[in-house]
Amino acid sequence: MSLKHAILVLLEQEPGSGYDLAQRFNQGIGNFWNASHQQIYQQLKKLTQESLVQFELEEQSGKPDRKVYEITETGLQALTEWMREEDNPPVVRDALLIKVFAGHLTDPQTLLAEIQRHRDLHAEKLAAHQALEARYNQQSKPKQKQQLLPYLTLRRGIRYEREWIEWLDEAQQMIQQS
């Protein structure tokens, strides 16, 4: 139920088209929420019907026209109400861990290769996050109020990826020794 609210949050921050939102989900925000453009367009349609957002057509020559969405009063209200609701941590469903758990069904090399592959992926994300973090740090030495909260979500992303890498290294070592 939260893609809806993720979109409202993004639009509250700054109006934009479906295309723009898709971009933003692929940057810093992708760290805690993700959505494909198909899903975004459908959701924007629904949100418009519910009057939680509205758009203005921005005509362009050559390219298709942009629909620039913004959050409405009603939308903002719905969003602040949602902020008071409780949400439980998402349940984990991770195929890699099934494979590790049942690793006796394959040879160690196959398992180790998949572990290495995941390590690379996590290292890549970590690097991207750290690049963003560097930008935060040079912008404002004493952390400003305004930026604190987004910064915290970035910190979470960094910790998350770092933790994965540490565990993957641990797992790799122990499997090799066995």
Partner DNA sequence: ATAGCCATGTAACCAGTTACATGATTGA
Partner DNA sequence: TCAATCATGTAACTGGTTACATGGCTAT
Interface residues with DNA (CB under 7 A) are 1-4, 17-20, 23, 34-39, 41-42, 44-45, 60, 62-67, 91, 93
Nearer to its own copies, 65 or 110 (CB): 110
Distance CA 175, CA 178 (A): 5
Q: Which of 42, 67, 68, 99 binds its own copies (CB under 8 A)?
A: 99
Nearer to DNA, 34 or 77 (CB): 34
Q: In DSSP terms, which residues pair with 53 in a beta bridge?
A: 71
Residue 143's φ and ψ, nearest 5 degrees, are -50, 125
In the numeric block, which tokens belong to residue 14?
A: 């700054």
| Residue 155 binds to its own copies (criterion: CB under 8 A) | yes
- Residue whose C-alpha is closest to residue 128's, from 161, 89, 83, 151: 161
| Residue 31 binds to its own copies (criterion: CB under 8 A) | yes
**Min separation Cβ 30 and DNA, Å:** 12
119 interface partner picked from its own copies, DNA, none, CB below 5 to 8 A per type: none
| Residue 160 binds to its own copies (criterion: CB under 8 A) | yes
| Residue ranges in contact with its own copies by CB under 8 A | 2, 5-6, 9, 12-13, 29, 31-34, 79-80, 83-84, 86-106, 110-111, 114, 117-118, 121-122, 143, 145-146, 148-150, 152-153, 155-156, 159-160, 163-164, 166-167, 170-171, 174-175, 178
